[in-house]
Amino acid sequence: MAISQKVLMSLSTAAIAVLVLSVPISANAKKTGVVTGNVVNFRQSPNLSSKVLNKLTEGTKVNIIDSEGDWYKVSYNDATGWMSGDWLLVRDEKIASGVVSGSVVNVRSKPNTDSEVLAKFSRGTKVDIYEDSDNWYRVSIGEDRFGWMSGDYVTVRDEAASKSTAAVKAAAKDAEKTPSAVQEAEDADDAGETPDAAGEELTVEVDAGAADGSEGKSEKSDPVSRGADDLSSDARKEALLRQQIVDYAKTLIGIKYVYGGESKKGFDCSGFVKYVYNNFDMSIARKSSDQGKGGKAVKKADLQPGDLVFFDTDGGLNNITHVGIYIGDGKFIHASTYLKKAITIESLSSSYYSKRYMRARDYISK
């Protein structure tokens, strides 16, 4: 029995909808690590007395399986072992992508509706998904910065589904023989979710005026036309992240200096930096000397809030012994051992630190 072109087109567009809307996320979260030490032990168990299975050199990439305290269980060349987190730069890996389906949807600090709103995404915004937790998706909202969106307002896609969808659309296009069939396809597209397109608009907000649902109303910043690179939007996200890092670091002012500390009970200089960056899901090495190797080099004249500044407090300008976070206006915040022995703000041009300044690194810019 012959099947009409109209029926074929309906079946094709229905198949597209199923492929797009029914994509499962295959993993809850995925992380990788990069070795930051010169030669780092790959051990049998998460302690310094366990057997050394291998030695990995700086720059080696490993897959993160689990963690226990400051240790990471990793896989490398089909072998599984443990490595100290002091010598690993841990990164999140995307597990899927999606498109915002609500009008204005909140991105929150935690996977619940009571947590802080970090940003708002408008319908059609593409998002990268890094974790799935009880129908909440951990998504990227900037370089090494993440938030949570309700899965009720995100249409999940992945590479395999996109290829399958493209194949179905190609088959549907082959079936277009009459103007009515073409119109049928257009009507079906209009009825579905916003398709991927280079001309979509991205609106990011930082006040909490909208609900986690689709019809929130709040005062919005001007939408930015999203092209291939969306440089304006990226710049806004970066500026927002930099200011939030500075603001959060300032909330820790006055906490005492404790050698080896990396909690609100006390910080040393690199522990303070790591603590602040970790609050924004930004992974960084533990020691100041290793922190001075990561990110990108930045000239002193080009410093931006959130960049790291490094010093040799021994005075020889040979080895990094101290680190702080630049906050703008020629000042930085750090766990001081010089006078106050606490989290405090200093000037880069002070007589003490200007003579001991070595370099700066940018972990935020793309």
Q: How confident is the model at residue 190 (pLDDT cuts 50, 70, 90)?
A: very low
Residue 136 within a domain? yes
* Residue 119 structural domain: 96-158
Compute φ and ψ for 193, nearest 5 degrees.
-70, 160
Catalytic residue among 237, 322, 356, 361: 322
Q: How does residue 33 score in pLDDT terms, banded at 50, 70 and 90? A: confident
Mean pLDDT score of the chain: 76
Q: Are residues 100 and 67 in the same domain?
A: no
- Within this chain, do residues 59 and 106 fall inside the same structural domain, yes or no? no
The question of whether 57 is a catalytic residue gets the answer no
The CATH number of residue 115's host domain is 2.30.30.40
Residue 334 and residue 245 share a domain:
yes
Residue of 123, 157, 169, 334 marked active site: 334
Instruction: Please tell me whether residues 243 and 288 are part of one structural domain.
Output: yes
307 and 298 Cβ atoms separated by less than 8 Å? yes
CATH of the domain at 292: 3.90.1720.10
Averaged over 337-341, what is the pLDDT? 73
Separation of alpha carbons 183 and 168, rounded Å:
17
Query: How does pLDDT run across 147-168, given as a tens digit for each residue?
Result: 899 999 999 875 444 444 444 4
Q: Are residues 243 and 319 both part of a single domain?
A: yes
Between CA 139 and CA 198 the distance in angstroms is 20
Q: Are residues 88 and 124 in the same domain?
A: no
Is residue 356 included in any domain, yes or no? yes
Together in a domain, 103 and 153: yes
Q: Are 137 and 44 in a shared domain?
A: no
In a domain, 243, yes or no: yes
Percent over 70 (pLDDT), the chain? 70
**Shared-domain flag, residues 263 and 349:** yes
Asked if residue 46 and residue 141 are part of one domain, the reply reads no
Which is more confident, 247 or 92?
247
Span 290-332, pLDDT tens digits: 999 999 999 999 999 999 999 998 878 888 999 999 999 999 9
Residues 28-42 have a mean pLDDT of 82
**Could you tell me if residue 87 is inside a domain?**
yes
- 53-71: pLDDT as tens digits: 999 988 888 989 988 888 9
Q: What is the pTM of this model?
A: 0.41
The answer as to whether 330 is a domain residue is yes
CA R_g for the chain = 25
Q: Is 341 part of any domain?
A: yes
**Residues 42 and 131 both lie in one domain:** no
pLDDT tens sequence across 11-32 = 444 444 444 343 444 446 678 8
Residue 190 lies in a domain: no
Assess whether 312 and 328 both reside in one domain.
Answer: yes
Beta bridge partners of 202: 224
Answer with the one of 72, 92, 112 that is the final residue of a domain. 92
Domain presence at residue 143: yes
- Boundary-marking domain end, from 158, 189, 210: 158
Tell me whether residue 343 is one of the annotated catalytic residues.
Answer: no
Residue 270 is among the residues annotated as catalytic for this protein: no
The whole-angstrom separation of Cα 314 and Cα 355 is 10
- The catalytic position among 107, 181, 211, 269 is 269
Per mean pLDDT, which range of 18-32, 72-86, 259-273 is the poorest? 18-32
Closest CA to 21 of 195, 148, 169, 172: 195
Residue that is last in its domain, among 158, 190, 211: 158
- The count of domains in the chain is 3
- Among the listed residues 147, 294, 265, the one whose alpha carbon sits nearest the alpha carbon of residue 208: 147
